[in-house]
Amino acid sequence: MSREEAISLVERLMNAEGTDEEEWGEMLDALERGLVCPHISDYIYWTSPN
E-strand spans in the chain? none
Cα distance between residue 7 and residue 50, in whole Å: 26
Cβ density class 16-47: b for 16+ within 10 Å, e for less? eeeeeeeebeebbeebeeebeeeebeeeeeee
Mean pLDDT by 10 residues, the chain (50 residues): 94 84 91 92 78
Whether residue 11 lies inside any domain: the answer is: yes
Per-residue pLDDT, 5: 95
Q: Is residue 15 assigned to a domain? A: yes
What are the angstrom distances between the C-alpha of 26 and each of 45, 47, 48? 16, 22, 26
Q: How many domains does the chain have?
A: 1
At 7 the pLDDT is 93
Residue 38: domain span: 3-45
Q: Is residue 8 part of a domain?
A: yes
Query: pTM here?
Result: 0.76
- For position 33, what pLDDT does the model report? 95
